């Protein structure tokens, strides 16, 4: 099975061929590197940009204005912060012009911890990005969703922020991408750039098929009856694993992969919480004004009389950064043990 980096690459190839994507660009996105996480290797519309994040977002907006369909990359979301007012501008262009202009553009950027990236390669961006109206925001947790979400993003008429959990980019999927060959080594030979001289190399693309994960739709990863766990990105597989582990202890947790942060699948959350009466939101961004806090507010507002326990948030500590040492990273953002503890505690709570 493809890993997430390969899955996104294949989706981008599909989008170049079928969805009118004209420019896939950013720092080191074009040859020879094809992206620091190899996500853009072998694609035909890639090019290397100056090392200028504001320029990257601005030019993506301009390309979209002139009828192109760009996919721009910010190399690490840690470096997107100097573009915030341009992200705001992209998000308000349609509204400010009363619908005169719209910007069909995708910005993708690796997010989160998990590769021992220290202070400036471990940031999350979901809390900040969900503060910027006018965008759609997605974050996959497995290769097939990564493929389907990128295809959906490239069909949108408005800006989409595509967050790539960097800890998951190298993880292989459990479900086949439509068109991907059975043999992983063959896939790698076809679409991974070789080491050494790549100047003559060309990707050989499998016959990929359309597959969409609709923006705004979550997924029940594991059905359960006692506790709802809502997560996305790096912490989602940990939540799924925790639920499996806890099943043996007699705790039956339902796990929802939100997949889209804006718009998000409130109906899925609502139905689940009405059933379980208990909900834990899990993500790794810093916990103060965290997206999960919004979800808790809405849970309290709309589902109060269905609740058997206070809704909980397990998120990253409110720290200026994630320290490099293993001990520091582990203590800063939710790990499997933290999630197990949080679910156990919530499941045991009595009104």
Partner 1 sequence: MSRPALVEKPERAPLDRELLVRMHDLMVEARVLEERLIQMYKAGHGFFWIGGPGEEAFNVSLGLLMKKGQGPAFDYLHAHYRQSATLLALGEEPIGALRQMKNTATDPYSGGRNFAGHFSKRSWNIAPASSPIEVQYAVAPGTALVQKRHGGDGITIVTGGDAGTAEGDFASCLVWSSRPANPLPILIIVTNNKWGISTASDGQHGEKHVADRGKAFGMRTKTIDGNDPETAYLELKEAIAYVRKERKPFLLEANVSRLYGHSSASGANFVTDEVDCLKVMEERLEQRGIMTRAQMDAVRTRWTEAIAEMARQAREEPLPAPETIWNHIYSERK
* Interface with partner 1 (CB under 8 A), residue from 2, 59, 153, 340: 59
- Asked if 36 contacts 57 with a C-beta cutoff of 8 angstroms, the reply is no
Could you say whether residue 62 binds partner 1 (CB under 8 A)?
yes
Kindly report the number of other CB atoms within 10 A of residue 289's CB atom.
13
- Asked if 314 contacts 338 with a C-beta cutoff of 8 angstroms, the reply is yes
Using CA atoms in the order 66, 79, 116, 295, what is the torsion angle rounded to 10 degrees?
A: -80
Give CA–CA dist 138/43, Å, rounded: 22
User: In the complex, what is the shortest distance from the CB of residue 19 to partner 1, in angstroms, rounded to a whole number?
Assistant: 14
Give CA–CA dist 160/107, Å, rounded: 6
The number of CA neighbours under 13 Å toward the Cβ of 163 is: 32
Could you say whether residue 316 binds partner 1 (CB under 8 A)?
no
Q: How far is CA 271 from the centre of its chain?
A: 23
Smallest CA-to-CA distance from 156 within 90, 96, 233 is with 90
Could you say whether residue 134 binds partner 1 (CB under 8 A)?
yes
- Stretch touching partner 1 by CB under 8 A, among 94-102, 252-260, 307-315, 342-350: 94-102
Residue in 13, 98, 121, 294 annotated catalytic: 121
Contacting partner 1 within 70-89 (CB under 8 A) = 70, 82, 85-86, 89
Is 121 catalytic? The answer is yes
Could you say whether residue 50 binds partner 1 (CB under 8 A)?
yes
User: In the complex, what is the shortest distance from the CB of residue 103 to partner 1, in angstroms, rounded to a whole number?
Assistant: 8
**Coil, strand, or helix at residue 278?**
coil
Give CA–CA dist 106/192, Å, rounded: 23
Could you say whether residue 318 binds partner 1 (CB under 8 A)?
no
- Whichever of 59 and 229 has its CB closer to partner 1, that residue is 59
- Whichever of 83 and 128 has its CB closer to partner 1, that residue is 83
Could you say whether residue 68 binds partner 1 (CB under 8 A)?
yes
Kindly report the number of other CB atoms within 10 A of residue 208's CB atom.
18
Smallest CA-to-CA distance from 235 within 131, 329, 333, 323 is with 333
Pull the structure tokens for residue 128: 């900040």
Build a one-symbol-per-residue string for 11-30: x at contacts with partner 1 by CB under 8 A, - elsewhere: -----------xx-------
* Interface with partner 1 (CB under 8 A), residue from 18, 31, 33, 58: 58
User: In the complex, what is the shortest distance from the CB of residue 266 to partner 1, in angstroms, rounded to a whole number?
Assistant: 17
Could you say whether residue 97 binds partner 1 (CB under 8 A)?
yes
Build a one-symbol-per-residue string for 144-183: x at contacts with partner 1 by CB under 8 A, - elsewhere: -------------xx-------------------------
User: Locate tokens 């899990």: which residue?
Assistant: 282
User: In the complex, what is the shortest distance from the CB of residue 100 to partner 1, in angstroms, rounded to a whole number?
Assistant: 5
For the chain, report the end-to-end CA distance as a whole number of angstroms.
Answer: 45
Could you say whether residue 102 binds partner 1 (CB under 8 A)?
yes
Helix (H) or strand (E) holding 303: helix 291-303
Give CA–CA dist 53/81, Å, rounded: 9
- Stretch touching partner 1 by CB under 8 A, among 62-70, 143-151, 188-196, 332-340: 62-70
Q: Are strands 136-138 and 260-262 parallel, antiparallel or unpaired?
A: antiparallel
User: In the complex, what is the shortest distance from the CB of residue 92 to partner 1, in angstroms, rounded to a whole number?
Assistant: 8
Catalytic site positions = 121
Residues in contact with partner 1 by CB under 8 A are 22-23, 47-50, 52, 54-55, 57-68, 70, 82, 85-86, 89, 93-102, 133-134, 157-158
């Amino acid at each position: 099975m493809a890993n997430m980096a390969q899955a996104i690459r294949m989706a981008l190839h599909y989008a170049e061929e079928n969805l009118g994507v004209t420019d896939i660009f950013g720092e080191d996105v074009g040859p020879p590197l094809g992206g620091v996480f190899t996500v853009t290797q072998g694609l035909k519309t890639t090019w290397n940009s100056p090392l200028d994040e504001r320029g990257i977002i601005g030019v993506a907006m301009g390309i979209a204005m002139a009828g192109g369909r760009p996919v721009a990359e910010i190399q690490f979301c840690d470096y997107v912060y100097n573009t915030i007012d341009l992200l705001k501008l992209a998000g308000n262009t349609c509204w400010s012009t009363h619908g005169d202009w719209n910007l069909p553009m995708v910005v993708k950027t690796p997010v989160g911890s998990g590769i021992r990236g220290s202070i400036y390669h471990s940031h999350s961006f979901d809390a900040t990005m969900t503060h910027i109206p006018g965008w759609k925001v997605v974050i996959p947790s497995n290769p097939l969703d990564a493929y389907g979400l990128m295809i959906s993003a490239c069909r949108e008429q408005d800006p989409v922020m595509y967050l790539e959990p960097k800890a998951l980019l190298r993880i292989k999927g459990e479900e086949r991408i439509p068109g991907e060959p059975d043999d992983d080594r063959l896939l790698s030979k076809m679409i991974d750039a070789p080491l050494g001289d790549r100047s003559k190399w060309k990707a050989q693309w499998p016959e990929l098929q359309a597959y969409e994960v609709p923006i705004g739709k979550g997924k029940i990863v594991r059905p359960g009856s006692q506790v709802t766990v809502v997560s996305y990105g790096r912490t989602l597989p940990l939540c799924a694993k925790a639920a499996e582990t806890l099943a043996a202890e007699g705790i039956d947790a339902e796990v929802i992969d939100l997949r889209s942060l804006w718009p998000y699948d409130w109906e899925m959350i609502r139905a689940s919480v009405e059933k379980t009466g208990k909900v834990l939101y899990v993500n790794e961004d810093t916990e103060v004004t965290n997206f999960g806090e919004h979800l808790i507010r809405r849970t309290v507002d709309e589902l109060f009389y269905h609740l058997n326990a206070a809704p909980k948030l397990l998120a990253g500590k409110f720290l200026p950064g994630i320290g490099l040492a293993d001990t520091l990273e582990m203590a800063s953002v939710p790990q499997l043990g933290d999630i197990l503890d949080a679910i156990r505690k919530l499941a045991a709570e009595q009104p």
